[in-house]
Amino acid sequence: MPATLDTAALDSVRTDLEGIEGVHRAFLEGPPYTVFVIAERGVPGPAEMVVHAVLARHGLGPGEAQVQVSHLAAPEPRRRVRFVSATVATPRMGRAHAAVELEWAGRTFLGEVEGESGYALELRLAAMATLAALDQVMDGRVKFQMVGIKPFRAFDADVVVALVRSDVDGKSLIGAALAADEPYRAASVAVLNATNRILGNYLSNDEGLPGADS
């Protein structure tokens, strides 16, 4: 007659299985028993014979439990462009220069835009410099157009909202970021929060992009 384990015995089996090197989780269903073992990817084992050895110690001999070993899926490639820095300088009266640095695939990309000075105008310059850097990341595969950027206060917090249009179906994209004491950073991050929804479809891997390993 097949073995039947009570709740305490099942918990003991699961604990012993999860004590095997490389095992992330273990589950038992039955009787008749099926044992599901989820192992960490890249960690040796566990072989089914090791699992069966543990089961045998708990009275589940050969033929009394089916064992299925699977591995955790490999992590997906990072698909988000990372913000590095955003600065705005005023080289001369009435003019401002924005520089935004982004990182993707181990490389940094610098976007620079110059225009008129003034708080609202400088926020827009920071946003446009972000788009200039993104254009380098994408190597022209996707184009973005700056529609508008606006700071406002909501729920006792300073927020910057960016509206960007892409050439992918002409979609308009909205992104927001908390400003705190770094409004230019917020302008850049707001643009990234908007455009990453499109970029993720193109940055699933590094192949064909600037900075990709050959």
In-domain check, residue 206:
no
**Residue 102 and residue 84 in contact, taking contact as beta carbons nearer than 8 Å:** yes
Interval 90-94 mean pLDDT: 89
Side by side, the strands of the sheet bearing 23-29 are 23-29, 33-39, 65-71
In-domain check, residue 135:
yes
Domain match, 140 and 177 both: yes
Which amino acid would we find at residue 141? R
pLDDT at 214 over 60: no
In-domain check, residue 58:
yes
**Which stretches does DSSP call E strand in the chain?**
23-29, 33-39, 65-71, 82-92, 95-104, 107-116, 144-154, 157-166, 172-178
In-domain check, residue 142:
yes
Domain boundary pick from 46, 71, 96: 71
Domain that holds residue 135: 82-199
Taking the CB of residue 181, how many other CB atoms lie within 10 A of it? 7
Measured CA to CA, the distance from residue 37 to residue 69 in angstroms comes to 5
Domain match, 52 and 108 both: no
Domain match, 95 and 157 both: yes
Model confidence at 44, pLDDT cuts 50, 70, 90, reads: low
Q: How many domains does the chain have?
A: 2
Q: Which of 17-21, 50-54, 72-76, 135-139 has the lowest mean pLDDT?
A: 72-76
Domain match, 66 and 91 both: no
Residues comprising the chain, all counted: 214
Decide: helix, strand or coil at residue 3: coil
